[in-house]
Amino acid sequence: MAQAPISTHLPPDTKPTKASIAYGHRALPKLNEELRSEDLTTRQKALMALCDLMHDPEYVYQAIDIGCLESLKALLKDINDLVRIKATEVLYIMAIHTMGRSSDGKEE
């Protein structure tokens, strides 16, 4: 009986920088949990996904409401350069939205 060799390489369609995102109202709370993870790869993937989601003002409001700003603020002191850069990028994207500019998350 023949055995299939197991490759040590990832499949060509797998992107290590993309996080799987939960659906609906659970998406941002799950990403917020992952931002606080001890695992570097998990934090990086969560930041990549958050960068994509923050272009929607509805997600910006929800992120502010659940406390993502505190998680992102903590990541600005991370030892990894990519984490600090992506945290800054997410904060910038949030700040360009009207809701992100308000301290309480309400539109002006």
Structural domain boundaries in the chain: 26-101
Closest CA to 86 of 55, 48, 54, 49: 48
In this prediction, residue 108 carries a pLDDT of: 46
pTM, two decimal places: 0.71
In this prediction, residue 97 carries a pLDDT of: 77
Q: Does domain 26-101 have CATH number 3.40.50.2300?
A: no
98 compared with 53, residue with greater pLDDT:
53
Measured distance CA(5)–CA(17) in Å, rounded? 26
Q: Which residue has the tokens 């606080």?
A: 36
- Does residue 7 register a pLDDT over 60? no
Measured distance CA(19)–CA(29) in Å, rounded? 14
